[in-house]
Chain A
Amino acid sequence: MKTLDQVKVGTTSKVVSIAEPRIASRLMSMGIVPGISVSIMRKSLMGSTYFIQFPQLTLALRKEEAAQIVIE
Chain B
Amino acid sequence: MSINKYQVALVGNPNVGKSSVFNLLTGLQQKVGNFPGVTVDKKSGQFLIENNVSVGVTDLPGLYSLFPTSEDERVVVDVLLKNLKNPSIDLILYIIDANDLERNLLLFTQIKDLNYKMIVGVNMMDTAQSNGLEIDLEGLSKSFDVPFIPLSGRSGEGIEAIKNNISSQILKESKDGFYKMNESETQIVHDIQEFIPNTTSYEALLIAHHYKRLPQITTHQKEFISKLIEQYSFNSLDHQLDEMMNRFQLITPLVIKNVKRHLASINPFTKKVDTILTHPVVGLFIFLALMLIVFQSIFTWSELPMEWVERSFSWLANILNETLPASWFQELLTEGIITGLSGVFVFVPQIAILFFLISLLEESGYMARVVYMMDHFMRRFGLNGRSIISLISGGACSIPAIMSTRTINNWKERLITIMVTPLISCSARIPVFTILIAVAVPPTKLGGWLSLQAVVFMSLYLLGAVTALLVAWFFHLILKTEEQSFLVMELPRYQMPHWRNVFMNVLEKIKTFSLEAGRVILIVSIILWFLASFGPEKNMEAARVQAQNEYNISQEVSLKQLTKTHELESSYAGMFGKFIEPAIQPLGYDWKIGIALISSFAAREVFVGTMATLYAVEDGNNQALLTERLQKATNKETGKKVFTLATAMSLMIFYLFAMQCISTMAVVKRETKSWKWPIFQFMYMGVLAYIGSWIAFQLLS
Contact = CB atoms under 8 A, between A and B. Distances in A.
Contacts of B429: none
Contact of B491 (A24, A44, A60): A60
B488 A23 contact: yes
B248 A33 contact: yes
B244 A58 contact: no
B376 A45 contact: yes
9 contacts: A25-B65, A44-B373, A45-B281, A56-B99, A57-B490, A58-B492, A59-B489, A59-B491, A61-B488
The 3 closest A-B pairs by CB, nearest first: A31-B103, A29-B65, A29-B64
A41 interface: yes
A53 B64 CA distance: 18
B205 interface: no
Candidate in A22, A28, A29 with the most chain B CB atoms within 10 angstroms: A29
B488 A65 contact: yes
Interface in B586-639: none
A21 B243 CA distance: 13
A42 interface: yes
B274 A25 contact: no
A65 B487 contact: yes
A60 B489 contact: yes
Interface in A14-72: 21-31, 33, 41-46, 48-49, 51, 53, 55-62, 64-65
Interface in B512-543: none
Contacts of A41: 274
Given A33-B245, A60-B375, A27 B266 contact: no
Given A44-B280, A65-B488, 5 more contacts: A23-B488, A30-B64, A49-B487, A56-B103, A59-B490
Interface residues of B, number: 42
B381 to A, nearest CB: 14
B280 to A, nearest CB: 4
A1 B513 CA distance: 54
A58 B490 contact: yes
A31 B106 contact: yes
Nearest to B373: A44
B373 to A, nearest CB: 6
Nearest to B488: A26
A65 B265 CA distance: 26
Interface residues on A, range: 20 to 34
B368 A60 contact: yes
Contacts of A26: 64, 69, 486, 488
Contacts of A44: 280, 372-373, 375-376
B237 interface: yes
B102 interface: yes
A9 to B, nearest CB: 10
Contacts, number: 112
B285 to A, nearest CB: 11
A23 B485 CA distance: 11
Nearest to A43: B280
Contacts of A27: 488
Candidate in A43, A46, A62 with the most chain B CB atoms within 10 angstroms: A62
A43 to B, nearest CB: 7
A49 B106 CA distance: 27
A64 B376 CA distance: 12
A25 B280 contact: no
B274 A60 contact: no
Contacts of B138: none
Given A23-B488, A44-B372, A45-B376, A56 B102 contact: yes
A29 B244 contact: yes
B500 interface: no
B241 A51 contact: no
Interface in B45-85: 64-65, 67, 69
A28 B244 CA distance: 7
Contacts of B488: 23, 26-27, 30, 59-61, 65
Nearest to A56: B100
Nearest to B14: A30
A51 B100 contact: no
A25 B244 contact: yes
Contact of A58 (B279, B376, B491): B491
Interface in B79-105: 99-100, 102-103
Contacts of B265: 56
Contacts of A49: 372-373, 375-376, 487
A38 to B, nearest CB: 13
B284 interface: yes
Contacts of B281: 45
Contacts of B327: none
A55 B267 CA distance: 11
B183 interface: no
Contacts of B103: 30-31, 56-57
Interface in B254-299: 265-266, 270, 274-275, 278-281, 284
A55 B266 contact: yes
Contacts of A25: 65, 67, 69, 237, 240-241, 244
B379 to A, nearest CB: 8
A33 B375 CA distance: 26
Candidate in A22, A51, A56, A60 with the most chain B CB atoms within 10 angstroms: A60
A57 B248 CA distance: 16
Candidate in B99, B284, B486, B490 with the most chain A CB atoms within 10 angstroms: B486
B482 interface: no
B372 A46 contact: no
